[in-house]
């Protein structure tokens, strides 16, 4: 059996991070709508294979790629499997296995992530298709009334069951409890909710016998709500984020890879950089960005073959900036 600890370490290899390219059919349609490109199976394959064929980014900065069910089965026009393109670049293919956040019954405005039924069999298949790690995203929203303890408990329980099933299949679980940026809440409120959530998640992981050396945590940064009147500095965000993890994340967890969650590309890089300037943290702190790695690449592409090179360049640039940020070596002037 593959050593999950070795895979987890590879996912957070120094200077590298993860590309989240696992947008569901609905989400990728939204992204394509923004550039007036129709979301056909062919267009989705074509856009994603441009990213995966970008050797500079994939070889140097991207340790793994999270795929959607459709993508893990796709091949490029020459018949080469997208999974093989990723592996040959020295990167690990992974797979989103949750079935999405659905309304939590009787709990207005809250969701529970579904997808546990039949997961053991699906993981077996994904493993045979080349997946080395998986992702499950739980969503925790903030308002004056929520999250309820029930929402945190239910999502945390599902994350733990998912993680145990992954490890049983020799697959590293990315454990993603996302506390949303939506709303006008303060950074302090985000800290409190993130702390409560992570505390519960790690309690449940241990209860479900999950080996903490064989997971990657994918959390939000501790940050002001999107509509908050205050905007904390990258240093404030970094300090609050690392302090929150010190209170909740066991040191044997090999890596923490952030989601970008609606931050702009440069914001997500700048904040990651500030986080990595803090010394003495026990975990590797890197990225697993979707929007913050792809926004300018998508804009550059516009669905046109003649823009492929510009699309690749934009992706390489973002991957490189974030790689620098994992070492605390990014500066604004490197953006140009
Ligand atoms: P964003 O970085 O766009 O938040 O996406 C990361 C992700 O995989 C969310 O599940």
Structure tokens that stand for 274 in this block: 């500030």
Query: Which CATH number fits the domain that encloses residue 63?
Result: 3.20.20.70
Chain Cα centroid distance, residue 238: 18
Cβ 20 under 6 angstroms from ligand 1: yes
* Pocket test residue of 113, 259, 272, 294 for ligand 1, highest count of atoms within 8 A of CB: 259
- Per-residue model confidence as pLDDT tens digits over 131-176: 999 999 999 999 999 999 999 999 999 999 999 999 999 999 999 9
Domain of residue 299, residue span: 4-335
Cβ 290 under 6 angstroms from ligand 1: yes
Q: Which of 176, 178, 265, 270 is catalytic?
A: 176
Instruction: Give the per-residue pLDDT at 2.
Output: 55
- pLDDT over threshold 90, residue 1: no
CA distances, 244 to each of 119, 191, 192, 290, 331 (Å): 31, 7, 8, 23, 25
- pLDDT over threshold 60, residue 124: yes
Q: Which of 132, 135, 200, 218 is catalytic?
A: 218
At 227, the pLDDT band (50, 70, 90 cuts) reads very high
Prediction pTM value: 0.98
State the sign of the Cα–Cα–Cα–Cα dihedral 249, 268, 333, 227: negative
- pLDDT over threshold 90, residue 6: yes
Cβ 52 under 6 angstroms from ligand 1: no
- pLDDT over threshold 60, residue 217: yes
Active site residue 176: yes
With pLDDT > 90 as the criterion, what percentage of the chain qualifies? 99
Cα–ligand 1 centroid distance for 230 (angstroms): 24
- Per-residue model confidence as pLDDT tens digits over 238-284: 999 999 999 999 999 999 999 999 999 999 999 999 999 999 999 99
Q: How many domains does the chain have?
A: 1
Cβ 289 under 6 angstroms from ligand 1: yes
Which residue has its alpha carbon closest to ligand 1 atom 9?
Answer: 259
CA distances, 77 to each of 4, 46, 50, 237, 302 (Å): 33, 9, 12, 44, 19
Active site residue 218: yes
Given the CA of residue 291, which atom of ligand 1 is nearest to it? 3
């Amino acid at each position: 059996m593959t050593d999950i600890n070795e895979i987890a370490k590879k996912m957070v290899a120094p200077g590298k991070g993860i590309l989240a390219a696992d947008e569901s059919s609905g989400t990728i349609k939204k992204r394509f709508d923004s550039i007036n490109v129709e979301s056909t199976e062919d267009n989705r394959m074509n856009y994603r294979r441009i990213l995966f064929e970008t050797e500079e980014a994939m070889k140097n900065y991207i340790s793994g790629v999270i795929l959607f069910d459709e993508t893990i089965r796709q091949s490029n026009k020459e018949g080469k499997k997208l999974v093989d393109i990723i592996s040959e670049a020295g990167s690990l293919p992974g797979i989103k296995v949750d079935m999405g956040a659905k309304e939590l019954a009787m709990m207005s405005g809250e969701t529970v992530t579904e997808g546990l039924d039949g997961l053991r069999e699906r993981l077996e298949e994904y493993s045979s298709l080349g997946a080395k790690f998986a992702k499950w995203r739980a969503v925790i929203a903030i308002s004056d009334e929520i999250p309820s303890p029930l929402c945190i408990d239910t999502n945390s329980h599902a994350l733990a069951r998912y993680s145990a099933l992954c490890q049983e299949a020799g697959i590293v679980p990315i454990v993603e409890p996302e506390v949303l940026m939506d709303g006008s809440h303060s950074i302090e409120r985000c800290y409190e909710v993130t702390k409560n959530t992570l505390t519960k998640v790690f309690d449940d992981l241990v209860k479900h016998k999950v080996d903490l050396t064989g997971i990657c945590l994918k959390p939000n940064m501790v940050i002001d709500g999107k509509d908050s009147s205050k905007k904390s500095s990258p240093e404030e965000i970094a300090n609050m984020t690392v302090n929150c993890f010190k209170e909740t994340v066991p040191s044997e967890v090999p890596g923490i890879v952030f989601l970008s969650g609606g931050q702009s590309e440069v914001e997500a890089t700048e904040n990651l950089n500030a986080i990595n300037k803090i010394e003495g943290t026990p975990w590797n702190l890197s990225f697993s960005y979707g929007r913050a790695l792809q926004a300018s690449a998508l804009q550059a592409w516009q669905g046109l073959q003649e823009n492929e090179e510009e699309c690749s360049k934009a992706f390489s640039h973002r991957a490189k900036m974030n790689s620098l940020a994992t070492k605390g070596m990014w500066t604004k002037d490197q953006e140009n």
